Amino acid sequence: KAGVTQTPRYLIKTRGQQVTLSCSPISGHRSVSWYQQTPGQGLQFLFEYFSETQRNKGNFPGRFSGRQFSNSRSEMNVSTLELGDSALYLCASSLRTGDGYTFGSGTRLTVV
Amino acid sequence: AQSVTQLGSHVSVSEGALVLLRCNYSSSVPPYLFWYVQYPNQGLQLLLKYTTGATLVKGINGFEAEFKKSETSFHLTKPSAHMSDAAEYFCAVSDLGYGNKLVFGAGTILRVKS
């Protein structure tokens, strides 16, 4: 059974640019969440999608957005990149609430 | 609001010794609790979870945790540490009232000495 796939694994962008990260959940999982991991702030929740609807959103500026498609694949977008957006972005999927998430290997974004 | 406190950002044990990683949580409703492990340059792997029922939960790789409501704790233990256990461990809480959102602790880096 394939796990959660995130692409790309590594990304280098320039300040002010925008970026789109992709996540393919485990087949059959309809809940997809995104987390940002940094050394200073740790793991912080970005948003959760379930059946194409954003069910929950973390405390991030509007530059961070996401969406989920009918096949449960998800993308997150960050516009007007700032140096502080450099982080490991983790996507996770879940079959049922309370199951716990299966995480992907993440996309490491570096903003220069 | 939910929160998780992991006592000790770094824990060092000898190979074969007991591993004890501490986690205390705050939640206004009965929580779901999780432990995850992260190896360098990888995502998080679920070790074990508590939802309802038996308060002693067994997970993968010989780890277990006990939910103690009176102490609001969910400490992770393993009787005998192995070199391969060296990693960062995260405790997380979800109260389901906020969808499937997880609130993570700051993490504990486990070092295993030979």
DSSP assignments along B37-70, one per residue:
EE-TTS-EEEEEEE-SS-SEEE-GGG-EEEEETT
What does the pLDDT read at residue A100?
80
Q: In chain A, whose CA is at the least distance from the CA of B102?
A: A45
Segment B36-73, tens digit of pLDDT? 999 988 899 999 999 888 889 999 999 999 999 999 99
Span between the terminal Cα atoms of chain B, in Å: 41
Note whether A8 and A109 are within 8 A (CB).
no
Residue contact B101–A50, C-beta within 8 A: no
What does the pLDDT read at residue B100?
75
What does the pLDDT read at residue B29?
75
Residue A105: other Cβ atoms inside 10 A: 17
Q: What is the torsional sign of CA A90, A31, A48, B99?
A: negative
| Banded pLDDT at B97 (limits 50, 70, 90) | low
Tokens of B109: 């880096």
Residue contact A45–B90, C-beta within 8 A: no
Which residues of B are less than 8 Å from A94 in CB distance? 100
List chain A residues with pLDDT less than 70.
1
Q: Is B10 on the interface with A (CB under 8 A)?
A: no
Q: How far apart are CA B31 and CA B13, in angstroms?
A: 30
Chosen from B44, B89, B103 to mutate, greatest number of chain A CBs within 10 A: B44
Q: How far apart are CA A42 and CA B19, in angstroms?
A: 23
Which residues of A are less than 8 Å from B90 in CB distance? 43
Taking CA atoms, A28 is separated from A24, A59, A80, B27, B114, in Å, by 11, 28, 34, 30, 43
